[in-house]
Amino acid sequence: MLSSNLRQLHRLGRGAVNMFSTDAKQFPEAKRRFIPSQGTYPHGFFAGGSHCGIKKNGKADLALLVSDRPTTTSAVFTTNQFCAAPVQYDRSVINGARDAQEQRVRAVVINSGCANAVTGQQGLADAREMGEAGAAFVRMFDKERGVEHEGGEALVMSTGVIGQRLPLSKITDGVTAMQVDETHEAWMRAAVAHMTTDTFPKLLSRQVDIAGQPIHLAGITKGAGMIHPNMATLLGTVCTDASVPQSLLDKALAHAVARSFNAISIDGDMSTNDTIAVIANGASGVVVDEGAAYEQFTNALTEFMADLASLVVRDGEGATKFLTIEVTGARSFTDAKQVASTIATSSLVKTAFYGQDANWGRILCAVGYAGVALDTNKVNMAIYPGDNSDPLVLVKGGEPLLPVDEARASEILKQEDMRVRVELGLGSEEARMYTCDLSHDYVSINADYRS
């Protein structure tokens, strides 16, 4: 935590720091169980959030994450060809550090309310200036701590309305005036500042052991709509105090994102701004190298990111159900993922779950047109309730089990959490997708998004 004198210095700046509440009571009661009241955060990382004036409603719209030392950073980005200016800028920063074999990234500046997407060369210049504001904050941060400045580039992330320029002076003034520290409250402020149509802040932290030594992970993500996997989805940053070489961090992130943020879908739309970054500063002193330590780190990162990504699905615009689509017995992970994705993105499947209708034929139909060769006589399918009671088996060996137990189906479909399991019977590979139902409210939210 910053000393009281240092914290006072962080209150100084060209603009006033606008405070806001992080009290969970302001968020929907049904979502409060997903909002942490405390956390365990990686050493050497500082966080903060504020309202700088992007959002007209006065809500938080600017977040800052800072490391007290240079980091190794990896990221995956949207494959949308209209990728936003922040994506282009961040890609150049990370690739530049990778090519130079240097640790350059020290901070991430995130704004909500304006995406800085489809804004041409001016948008790219704005993203660069936003990054420079973050780098300037790092210089001030080092000076106030009385330490020698060790480089410091900043990544930038933007989310909100597409096709509008950033109010750049508000952002740069807000960055200069930002208060950061290591507390749970500070991390919560950063998480709240990520929100657009989100109904609750998405923050997760935990301690895990690598080779018998503790490291820490903390992640913030945002998203409720325009969520569909293709190399990355939405915005998210994971910070860790492990020391991880660039090549291993790149490999671990690729593995983890394929099983987490690339395994969620809400509406089938891929954003122009999708970015997931992992930042490792080594402050724990624990070094991840080839072998068992790498496997442990990759598994821990994958599980952590899957849990973080699940929060996005739980906040899907208008969503009332959280659905895990599990496909097993595939010839390859790719095949299993393709079948699971096809089910997860079917509007007919999603609306059936919203209507609590055991229309299992829609699921089997999606399996059939997924583009994966099947032996239909080997397919089994069942729906598992979230309360871990007995599943409803619907198909066995390609044959429907009729008549369907409609009373049991009704009991299961009333629950918020459900798991659809499809067994292909062709191999040993499996994959999961996480999705939600599709409701009337989704249309209402997106019909008047700009207003």
Contact 430, 327 (CB under 8 A): yes
Name 50's bridge partners: 62
Residue 233 is a catalytic residue: yes
Residue 378 to residue 210: CA distance in whole angstroms? 40
Matching residue, tokens 């000076």: 143
Active-site pick, 159, 172, 233, 237: 233
Residue 140 to residue 149: CA distance in whole angstroms? 9
Residues with Cβ < 8 Å from 337, sequence gap 6 or more?
A: 258, 263, 327, 431, 433
- The count of other CB atoms within 10 Å of the CB of residue 32 is 13
Residue 305 to residue 311: CA distance in whole angstroms? 10
| Angstrom distances, CA of residue 188 to CA of 22, 53, 64, 121, 336 | 7, 19, 11, 34, 36
Residue 384 to residue 324: CA distance in whole angstroms? 10
Produce one character per residue of 374-404: b if its CB has 16 or more CB atoms within 10 Å, e if not.
beeeebbbbbbbeeeeebbebbeeeeebeee
Residue 444 to residue 451: CA distance in whole angstroms? 12
The region that residue 403 occupies, defined by phi over 0 for left and psi between -120 and 50 for alpha, beta otherwise, is beta
**What secondary structure letter does DSSP report for 308?**
H
Contact 270, 226 (CB under 8 A): yes
The angle that helices 120-145 and 85-100 make with each other, rounded to 10 degrees, is: 50
What does the angle CA 200 – CA 205 – CA 208 come to, to the nearest 5 degrees? 155
What does the angle CA 437 – CA 439 – CA 443 come to, to the nearest 5 degrees? 130
The alpha helices in 259-379, defined as continuous H runs, are 292-314, 333-344, 347-354, 360-368
Instruction: Write out the catalytic residue numbers.
Output: 233
